[in-house]
C-alpha cells in the first residue's frame, strides 16, 4: 500500500487536493507575514512562498524583486539547489521498484574505481550520506575551478577525481556530501541507460504534472527565471553551466514554490512509491545536527511539530521545504539571493499555519468491526484544541452527522468496509484529520422458512434462531423446529457476530383433535384468528384467561365453553391461556 501515516494519507484523500481556495483569513495572515519579514530582511532580494493544505488550492505569495523594476511573480523559476536530492532519491527508488538496481548494491557494481571512493559503499549509503565520501565541490581549489570555468560542462567522472580522503569508513558515521548524489546520478544512468534528468521527468515530473520544474543544462526552462543574486551581485547574465554540471544531481534543478509544495504533498501523501520504497525513503538515521536523515529528506522538530523537509543553497538561490505529516501541510520558500533569510521566513509562515488552524485530531474511539445494518454506533475523539466545530467524513453506506467530538452512526445494509475521519474546523480552516479503519461484515442472506403441517424448516443449515410472537424460543437453534402451539413463527440466521433480517412469517395451524381432547397434547384449535367478536375452541374448555402483551389478564371465563366473546377487548395481540397451554390471538376491531 502506498501509505504514510494512515491518518495523513486519508486526509489527502478527503477531497481533490486542488478544488477550493485556501481560507481567506489564513491567506491574508500568510501574505502579511511574508511581506513583513521580506521587507525587514535586506538580504532577501525577492521571495516566493507557497502553501499546500489538504482539499485546498495551492496558495502562493510573493515579495521583493527579481531585479530592478521587475517584481517576483508566482511563475518565476528559482534554483532549488539541494532540494534536487529528493527528486534523485525517488528516481532511484523507482529503479529499485522495477528491479533495475537495488539500494543494497555496491557502487563498484555500477562505476569504475576512483581514488578515495570505496567500491563497497552501497547505493543506500550514498543517499543517506553514510558513505564517508568527502565533499570537494564548494572548497578550494575546486570551487575556484568551477567559478573560473562558468561555461564549461563538467562530467561526473571528472568531478569524482576531485574527491579527497574519506571522512569515515562506509556506514560508520554521517557526513553530508554533494558527491554522494553526483555518484548516485551516475549510477542511475549506468543502470538504466538514461540520464537522471530523464528519469526524474518520466517518473516524477510528468506523472505529477509538475510543469514548472526542470533540470538545468539538460532541459530548457519552462518559464521566466528569477535573477540570482550572490553576495549582492546580480549573476543573471553569467553562465550556470559550470556550476550546474559540476553539482548536477546534487543541486541542478529549478522550480517554482507552488510546484514544490505539490511535489511534497504528492510524494509524502503516498502517490509515487510502493510501501517498501516508502519505508526506505523515510528510514531516518542520526546526524550530528538537530535532524535525522532519510533518503534525500530530513526529519526534525519545529514549534514542537515533527516535520520533514530539506534546505538548499547555491550561488544566488536559497530554498527551504517543510512538510507537516499531521496537518498534511507543505510549505516552500525560495529566494533569489544568497545569503538569504528565506529559511527563517518559511518557518515563520509555517508557524502562522499551526498557530491559527485547529490542532491535529487525536485517535477515534469506537468499534472497528461491525455488521451491515447495525444501528446507533457511537464514536468519539478527544477535544481538539483550537476547533470551533468538528467535521466527520464517513465512508459510503455509513449515515450520521455531528459538529461535536462525538457522532452516532448507522451502518446501512449496503455499508462496506471503509473509514471514519474527523478534523477540527475554525474560522481559519481545517486542522489535521485522523481516521479509524472500519471492517464491515455483510448481513447473512435473509432465510426462508416452510411448514409441512408438522415441522418448520429453514433453508439455512446453521446459525438459526427461531422466534414466535412472544420472542426468542429458548433452545430452538436447529434448522428444523417442531411447533407445539399454534403461533406465528420466523427465524433469524447469525453468521459470526452478524445477523440476518427476519425470514418470512408462517402461522401454524393444526387440523385435528386426538382422543378425549387431552389439553396437554396441545391439539386444540382456536379460531378464527384474527378474532372479530368471538373466539371458538374445537372442544369445551374451562378456566380460560385472555392476557394482553404486558401480562395483564383482561378476561376470565370459568366454562366449560367452546365460545367466548371478545367484544370490549382492546384490539391487538393477546394470548388465550388455559391450563399450561397458551395460544396467540389477534383481537380485531
147-183: per-residue pLDDT in tens? 999 999 999 999 999 999 999 999 999 999 999 999 9
- Inter-CA distances, 122 with 21, 372, 502, Å: 45, 51, 64
How many C-beta atoms surround the C-beta of residue 292 within 10 A? 16
Instruction: List Cβ<8 Å contacts ≥24 apart for 410-413.
Output: 410/374, 410/375, 410/376, 410/377, 411/370, 411/371, 411/372, 411/373, 411/374, 411/375, 411/377, 411/440, 412/372, 412/373, 413/372, 413/373, 413/443
Q: What is the mean pLDDT of residues 83-87?
A: 98
Strands of 145-269 (E only): list them.
Answer: 214-215, 229-230, 233-234, 253-255
**Distance from C-alpha of 437 to C-alpha of 368, rounded to nearest angstrom:** 7
Q: What is the mean pLDDT of residues 54-59?
A: 95
Confidence tier at 237 by pLDDT (50, 70, 90): very high
Q: Which residue's entry shows cell 484544541?
A: 385
Q: Residue 208 phi/psi, 5° resolution?
A: -90, 0
Q: Residue 78 phi/psi, 5° resolution?
A: -125, 150
Confidence tier at 551 by pLDDT (50, 70, 90): low
What pLDDT was estimated at residue 547? 83
Confidence tier at 486 by pLDDT (50, 70, 90): confident
Classify domain 6-356 by CATH number: 3.40.710.10
Q: Report helix, strand or coil for 516.
A: coil
Class of domain 519-587: mainly beta
What would the grid cell of residue 10 be?
Answer: 486519508
Sheet holding 449-451: strands in order across? Answer: 449-451, 456-458, 480-481
Give pLDDT tens digits for 364-375: 999 999 999 998
Q: Residue 534 phi/psi, 5° resolution?
A: -160, 160
Give Cβ neighbours of residue 136 (< 8 Å, ≥ 6 apart).
142, 159, 162, 163, 164, 179
Q: What is the mean pLDDT of the chain?
A: 92
**Distance from C-alpha of 362 to C-alpha of 10, rounded to nearest angstrom:** 14
Confidence check: pLDDT of 517 > 50: no
What would the grid cell of residue 342 be?
Answer: 528565506
Give pLDDT tens digits for 90-136: 999 999 999 999 999 999 999 999 999 999 999 999 999 999 999 99
Confidence check: pLDDT of 191 > 70: yes
Confidence tier at 522 by pLDDT (50, 70, 90): low
Report the predicted TM-score, pTM, of the whole model to 2 decimal places: 0.80
Q: Residue 175 phi/psi, 5° resolution?
A: -155, 120
Domain ranges of the chain: 6-356, 378-439, 449-507, 519-587
What pLDDT was estimated at residue 495? 94
Amino acid at each position: 500500500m502506498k501509505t504514510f501515516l494512515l491518518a495523513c494519507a486519508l486526509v489527502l484523500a478527503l477531497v481533490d487536493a486542488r478544488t477550493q481556495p485556501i481560507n481567506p483569513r489564513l491567506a491574508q495572515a500568510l501574505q502579511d507575514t511574508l511581506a513583513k519579514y521580506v521587507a525587514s530582511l535586506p538580504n532577501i532580494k525577492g521571495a516566493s512562498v507557497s502553501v499546500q493544505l489538504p482539499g485546498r488550492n495551492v496558495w502562493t505569495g510573493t515579495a521583493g524583486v527579481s531585479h530592478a523594476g521587475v517584481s517576483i511573480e508566482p511563475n518565476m523559476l528559482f534554483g532549488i539547489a539541494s532540494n534536487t536530492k529528493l527528486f534523485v532519491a525517488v528516481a532511484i527508488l523507482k529503479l529499485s521498484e522495477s528491479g533495475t538496481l537495488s539500494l543494497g548494491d555496491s557502487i563498484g557494481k555500477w562505476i569504475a574505481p576512483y581514488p578515495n571512493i570505496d567500491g563497497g559503499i552501497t547505493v543506500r549509503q550514498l543517499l543517506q550520506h553514510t558513505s564517508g565520501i568527502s565533499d570537494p565541490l564548494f572548497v578550494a581549489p575546486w570551487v575556484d575551478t568551477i567559478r573560473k570555468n562558468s561555461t564549461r560542462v563538467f562530467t561526473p567522472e571528472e568531478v569524482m577525481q576531485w574527491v579527497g580522503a574519506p571522512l569515515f569508513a562506509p556506514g560508520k558515521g554521517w557526513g553530508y556530501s554533494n558527491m554522494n548524489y553526483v555518484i548516485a546520478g551516475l549510477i542511475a544512468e549506468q543502470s538504466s541507460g538514461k540520464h537522471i534528468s530523464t528519469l526524474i521527468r518520466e517518473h516524477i515530473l510528468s506523472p505529477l504534472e509538475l510543469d514548472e520544474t526542470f533540470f538545468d543544462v539538460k532541459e530548457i526552462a519552462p518559464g521566466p527565471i528569477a535573477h540570482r543574486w550572490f553576495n549582492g551581485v546580480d549573476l543573471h547574465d553569467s553562465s550556470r553551466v559550470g556550476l550546474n554540471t559540476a553539482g548536477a544531481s546534487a543541486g541542478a534543478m529549478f522550480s517554482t514554490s507552488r510546484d514544490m509544495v505539490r511535489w511534497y504533498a504528492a510524494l509524502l501523501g503516498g502517490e509515487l512509491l510502493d510501501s517498501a520504497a516508502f519505508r526506505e525513503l523515510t528510514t531516518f538515521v542520526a546526524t550530528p545536527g538537530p535532524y535525522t536523515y532519510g533518503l534525500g529528506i530530513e526529519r526534525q522538530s519545529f514549534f514542537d511539530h515533527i516535520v520533514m523537509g530539506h534546505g538548499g543553497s547555491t550561488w544566488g538561490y536559497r530554498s527551504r521545504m517543510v512538510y507537516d505529516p499531521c496537518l498534511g501541510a507543505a510549505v516552500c520558500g525560495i529566494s533569489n539571493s544568497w545569503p538569504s533569510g528565506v529559511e527563517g521566513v518559511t518557518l515563520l509562515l509555517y508557524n502562522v499555519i499551526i498557530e491559527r488552524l485547529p490542532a491535529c485530531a487525536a485517535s477515534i474511539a469506537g468499534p472497528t468491526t461491525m455488521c451491515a445494518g447495525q444501528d446507533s454506533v457511537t464514536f468519539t475523539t478527544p477535544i481538539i484544541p483550537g476547533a470551533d466545530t468538528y467535521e466527520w467524513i464517513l465512508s459510503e453506506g455509513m449515515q450520521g452527522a455531528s459538529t461535536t467530538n462525538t457522532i452516532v452512526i448507522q451502518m446501512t445494509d449496503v455499508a462496506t468496509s471503509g473509514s471514519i475521519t474527523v478534523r477540527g474546523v475554525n474560522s481559519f480552516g481545517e486542522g489535521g484529520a485522523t481516521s479509524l479503519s472500519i471492517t464491515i461484515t455483510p448481513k447473512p442472506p435473509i432465510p426462508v422458512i416452510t411448514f409441512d403441517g408438522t415441522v418448520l424448516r429453514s433453508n439455512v443449515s446453521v446459525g438459526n434462531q427461531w422466534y414466535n410472537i412472544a420472542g426468542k424460543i429458548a433452545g430452538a437453534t436447529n434448522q428444523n423446529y417442531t411447533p407445539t402451539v399454534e403461533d406465528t413463527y420466523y427465524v433469524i440466521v447469525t453468521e459470526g457476530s452478524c445477523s440476518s433480517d427476519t425470514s418470512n412469517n408462517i402461522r401454524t395451524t393444526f387440523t385435528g383433535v386426538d382422543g378425549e381432547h387431552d389439553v396437554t397434547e396441545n391439539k386444540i384449535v382456536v379460531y378464527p384468528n384474527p378474532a372479530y367478536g368471538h373466539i371458538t375452541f374445537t372442544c369445551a374448555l374451562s378456566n380460560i384467561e385472555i392476557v394482553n402483551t404486558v401480562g395483564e389478564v383482561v378476561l376470565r371465563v370459568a366454562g366449560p365453553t367452546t365460545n367466548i366473546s371478545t367484544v370490549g377487548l382492546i384490539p391487538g395481540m393477546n394470548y388465550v391461556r388455559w391450563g399450561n397451554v397458551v395460544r396467540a390471538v389477534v383481537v380485531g376491531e
